[in-house]
């Protein structure tokens, strides 16, 4: 396979090794007939990869349908996917084919598959296992021969653990999976894409192409591009429209520096999708990120319960035990004071560690971190670890 020819055919720009690995994996999966799960943030080009899988498969002569599961009305999902019979619900004035019937013999690309309701996930699992389905309002079992390529912009197994996605469907889909890297992991490709986008836009509109000086390229690459290729394309087109001029016989290209670029650079608005904390782990038992996060969350919840009980005690909402004798009180204080202080300090440290993990997970976004921890922003601000208080 000529990888560059593949990129040219599907208008894919970039030479990053992680992108090349994803494309090569897609081509290897293509002829197998396996269902494929494509993971990646919004705007990284998952649909292009799905088309590659279809075109390199034995189904390339069949239909290729794109279904955005997140855009389907919840009450009509099953009708859209599996079809319905006349009179099955209000508005069903005639029989209708669903995507599984239309795509028979071809490929169905289910984008944003995590948005499917659980009921529809169960029906999808049955189709994957047996090729059988029923139209809405019908008892007749239909059969289809469709290959599923699914895509998601979230951590799908996190959705499984939250009860939002069926575990059996996840394992059915994830046997063959690949990941499209976000643009921030392909910094060397950012300027290549910029040049492509400004060139295309300039040619259509009769404007000078824009090139960047080294300091401007560094500025462009320093931004995270949370919207990935889609965001970079929009930015480049807007920049070209604002700073370029009409082509003349003596002027074909304009060169910009960082000072020209800086005023128009987008401002960081936070992550486009939930991210899993993948920062450095402390020494100790080899807990995974998920287990560690759950433990810290449990500690934090316990601390909140203790604080609530303390407040109730201060307001005399709890019965007070009879006061001990002076000698008993002295003995009790000697035995309990130090462990209580040590426990309180340990809880505070664990609370700070949980807050620190949430802030790192959302790249310092306090609002999202507070939502993750189930507290107000004001409470989060009051409990911030020392290194975050000046940020």
pTM of the model: 0.66
Matching fold, domains 3-179 and 183-264: no
Architecture of domain 3-179 in this structure: 3-Layer(aba) Sandwich (3.40)
What's the pLDDT score for residue 270? 47
Q: What is the pLDDT of residue 292?
A: 52
Spatial neighbors of 26 by CB under 8 A, at least 6 apart, are 36, 49, 52, 53, 56, 178
Would the pLDDT of 208 be above 70?
Answer: yes
Rounded Cα–Cα distance for residues 304 and 195 (Å): 53
Q: How confident is the model at residue 239, as a pLDDT?
A: 95
Q: Which of 54-58, 86-90, 110-114, 283-287 has the lowest mean pLDDT?
A: 283-287
Mean pLDDT of 233-261: 94
Q: Residue 286 has what pLDDT?
A: 44
Per-domain residue ranges of the chain: 3-179, 183-264, 289-317+325-388
Assigned fold of 183-264: Helicase, Ruva Protein; domain 3 (1.10.8)
**E strand intervals along the chain:** 36-39, 64-68, 107-111, 132-134, 141-143, 147-152, 177-179, 209-212, 253-256
Instruction: Specify the range with the lowest mean pLDDT, choosing from 15-24, 98-107, 282-291, 344-353.
Output: 282-291
């Amino acid at each position: 396979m000529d990888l560059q020819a593949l990129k040219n055919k599907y208008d894919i720009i970039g030479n990053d090794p992680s992108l090349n690995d994803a494309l090569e994996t897609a081509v290897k999966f293509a002829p197998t007939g396996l269902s494929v799960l494509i993971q990646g943030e919004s705007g990284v080009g998952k649909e292009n990869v799905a088309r590659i899988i279809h075109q390199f498969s034995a189904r390339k002569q069949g239909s290729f349908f794109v279904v955005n599961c997140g855009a389907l009305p919840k009450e009509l999902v099953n009708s859209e996917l599996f079809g319905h019979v006349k009179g099955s619900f209000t508005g069903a004035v005639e029989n209708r084919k669903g995507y599984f019937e239309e795509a028979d013999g071809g490929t169905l690309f289910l984008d944003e598959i995590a948005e499917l309701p659980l009921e529809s996930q169960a029906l999808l699992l049955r189709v994957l296992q047996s090729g059988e389905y029923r139209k809405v309002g019908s008892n007749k079992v239909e059969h289809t021969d469709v290959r599923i390529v699914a895509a998601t912009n979230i951590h799908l197994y996190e959705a499984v653990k939250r009860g939002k996605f069926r575990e059996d469907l996840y394992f059915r889909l994830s046997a063959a999976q690949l990941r499209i890297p976000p643009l921030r992991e392909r910094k060397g490709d950012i300027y290549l894409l910029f040049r492509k986008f400004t060139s295309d836009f300039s040619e259509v509109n009769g404007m000078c192409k824009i090139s960047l000086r080294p300091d401007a390229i560094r500025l462009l690459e320093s931004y995270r591009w949370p919207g990935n290729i889609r965001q970079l394309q929009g930015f480049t087109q807007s920049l070209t429209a604002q700073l370029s001029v009409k082509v003349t016989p003596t002027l074909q290209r304009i060169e910009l520096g960082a000072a020209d670029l800086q005023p128009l650079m987008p401002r960081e608005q936070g992550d486009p999708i939930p991210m899993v904390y993948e920062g450095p782990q402390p020494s100790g038992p080899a807990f995974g990120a998920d287990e560690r996060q759950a433990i810290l969350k449990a500690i934090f919840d316990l601390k909140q319960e203790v604080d609530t009980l303390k407040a109730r005690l201060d307001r005399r909402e709890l019965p007070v035990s009879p006061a001990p004798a002076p000698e008993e009180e002295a003995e009790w204080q000697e035995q309990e004071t130090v462990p209580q202080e040590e426990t309180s300090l340990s809880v505070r440290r664990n609370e700070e560690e949980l807050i620190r993990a949430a802030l790192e997970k959302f790249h310092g976004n306090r609002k999202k971190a507070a939502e993750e921890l189930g507290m107000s922003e004001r409470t989060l601000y009051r409990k911030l670890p020392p290194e975050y208080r000046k940020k």
